[in-house]
Structure 1
Amino acid sequence: MKQIAILIALLYSTLNLKAQEVKFRDNIDKDSLFTISVQKLPEHMREEYIKVYNEGKEHEKEFLLLMISMPRSSKQELITNYENKKSEILTLKSEYQKLVPKNYIVEIEFEPESKILTTNEEITIKIYKKKDEEKNSEGNEVERNDGFEVVSQNWNLKPESKELEDVLLSINWTSQTISEIKKLLKDANCISIESGMTTTIGYARSGMGKYFYKVFDEILTSEQKEEYNDGCQYIFYKENIVLEFGGGAIGPQCFERE
């Protein structure tokens, strides 16, 4: 139990999760929400979490409640969604590729308005451009390891904001483009997409982790199947589809075991 208490204290002091900005909505009964949320934890952990919550200070209680009330998903839900939404997922991939300018990689995620926190809908968008090898480098570009450099990385943008509009202008997108992408994602029951040699589609967040589909243009070769089937970050599913799990700052770092 002491280990959990220490972990919560460390996380609160280091991550803080925008503690000054994120608050629970006034109509939320936090004790009732905790009672419901703690039941989603493995049975052997519940007693310890309940003890820490009951003995904690108010800010510690809120932080613990925030952590355990985060959305949860699973590998099985990831697979089920693909089987139910295969056509929509493939349409999302092909239509999104048409929207991204040549020699660019664009990643976008929509975070809906929270029902329990005072956070509104937000958009994260990251833009990368293929590096011009003939261009003289000023030494200040931020590069990836795939020959692309960072144009901009923007988190928590507000819809219809001037900041978002300026970001979109850099790739000739408009609010209509955003609406189109948002609908494509909704139809596929997904939350994010990143273009590139392989399209990476975010299905759902789970705690601080996230489940993805990696959609290749062609059926994977034997070598690719081996590369993308480590049983931790990647699981080869079938044909041109690889399942991916990205771990967060804390929590699971690999797919759950059967």
Structure 2
Amino acid sequence: MKNKLGILYRTVMILVVLAIIYFGIHRIVSYFFDPFGANDKTYSRQELIENFNAKQKEIYAAKHYFESIVLKGKKVDIEFDGDRITRLEVYPTIDNAHQDRYAIDDSRRIDSIITALGWTKASVNKLRQKLEEANCISIFNDEPATIGFKRSGMGIYSFQVFDKPMADSTKIKYSRDSCLFIVANNRLVLEYGGGAIGPQCFPRKDLQNNNSHDHTRNTQTILGAR
């Protein structure tokens, strides 16, 4: 009887160890491959343009609301993942901290930053809802405003939205970093920001299109003017 129990015990333990090994390896593989965007959708220039066109009104509404709640003289970069804030940075800093960056496990810190910005839970929820309506995930107030569209691995696709038509000198500046930026028209630049790991540029085919003068003219006719 003892021998049978011993065999059963060893069998169960072997199965447990095998299960731990399997799921542990699965988690490790997922962790290392996800940053490369293996399991995330990538977006083309045309898809970004189509999404901007479809949600242009909502994107500008989110931009204008955000500008109305940010303290004068502050630049704020905030990102959501569903109901959760995953990034919150303020420049210049609020309380002489090296950088006001939200730590995932520090809810008190993010609450203190929100309070210092003069925001309420209601205003944060309203901002999140406006970004959701725009099919976007983040926003940074500046000229241009940078509105994050979607993440892919550690990278992020964004819209840089100008209030006024950009000068030719600004277009030239963007063209120097054509790997990261695609000038869609004189008020919109598409951006891909790569992470520490994974792709660092737009796909080659989109960059080739970006260098085409015909593409620039065609893109300007696709996008609505404001």
Query: Contact 1:199 / 1:216 at 8 angstroms: preserved in 2?
Result: yes
Q: TM-score scaled to structure 1, two decimals?
A: 0.62
Q: CA deviation at 1:71?
A: 4.6
Task: Give distance in 1, aligned partners of 2:198 and 2:34.
Answer: 14
Q: CA deviation at 1:255?
A: 0.9
Q: CA deviation at 1:66?
A: 3.9
What residue is the counterpart of 1:256 in the other structure? 203
What amino acid is aligned across from residue 97 of structure 1 in structure 2? E
Q: TM-score scaled to structure 2, two decimals?
A: 0.70
Task: Give distance in 1, aligned partners of 2:119 and 2:168.
Answer: 38
Structure 1 residues 87 and 232, CA gap change in structure 2 (3 angstroms): same
Moved more, 63-72 or 176-185: 63-72
Structure number with greater CO (CA < 8 Å, separation at least 6) is: 2
**Residues 1:232 and 2:179 are matched in the alignment:** yes
Q: CA deviation at 1:201?
A: 0.5
Q: How many residues align?
A: 180
What amino acid is aligned across from residue 126 of structure 1 in structure 2? E
**Secondary structure in 2 matching 1:90:** helix
Query: Contact 1:189 / 1:203 at 8 angstroms: preserved in 2?
Result: yes
Cα deviations across residues 83-103 of structure 1 (Å, max 9, x unaligned)?
111111111111111110100
Structure 1 residues 141 and 202, CA gap change in structure 2 (3 angstroms): same
**Secondary structure in 2 matching 1:172:** coil
What amino acid is aligned across from residue 164 of structure 2 in structure 1? E
Task: Give distance in 1, aligned partners of 2:123 and 2:111.
Answer: 11
Task: Give distance in 2, aligned partners of 1:110 and 1:155.
Answer: 13
Query: Contact 2:171 / 2:183 at 8 angstroms: preserved in 1?
Result: yes
Query: Contact 2:154 / 2:195 at 8 angstroms: preserved in 1?
Result: yes
Equivalent of residue 154 in structure 1, options 76, 97, 102: 102
Cα deviations across residues 203-241 of structure 1 (Å, max 9, x unaligned)?
011122111111122101111111123321111111211
Q: For residues 21-40 of structure 1, what are the structure 2 equivalents within 5 Å?
A: none
Q: For residues 57-206 of structure 1, what are the structure 2 equivalents within 5 Å?
A: 57-58=25-26, 60-64=28-32, 66-67=34-35, 68-112=38-82, 121-129=84-92, 142=98, 150=99, 152-156=100-104, 161-206=107-152
**Secondary structure in 1 matching 2:184:** strand
Task: Give distance in 2, aligned partners of 1:234 and 1:81.
Answer: 17
Task: Give distance in 2, aligned partners of 1:65 and 1:209.
Answer: 13
Structure 1 residues 107 and 70, CA gap change in structure 2 (3 angstroms): same
Query: Contact 2:102 / 2:109 at 8 angstroms: preserved in 1?
Result: no
Structure 1 residues 167 and 253, CA gap change in structure 2 (3 angstroms): same
Structure 1 residues 163 and 60, CA gap change in structure 2 (3 angstroms): closer
Identity of aligned residues (%): 33
Higher relative helix content: 2
Task: Give distance in 2, aligned partners of 1:242 and 1:195.
Answer: 15
Structure 1 residues 257 and 95, CA gap change in structure 2 (3 angstroms): same
**Secondary structure in 1 matching 2:72:** coil
Q: CA deviation at 1:157?
A: 6.1
- Mark the runs of 5 or more structure 2 residues left unpaired by the alignment: 1-21, 206-226
Q: CA deviation at 1:177?
A: 1.1
Q: Once superposed, what is the RMSD of the aligned Cα atoms?
A: 2.7
Q: CA deviation at 1:64?
A: 4.5
Q: CA deviation at 1:250?
A: 1.6
Task: Give distance in 1, aligned partners of 2:28 and 2:86.
Answer: 28
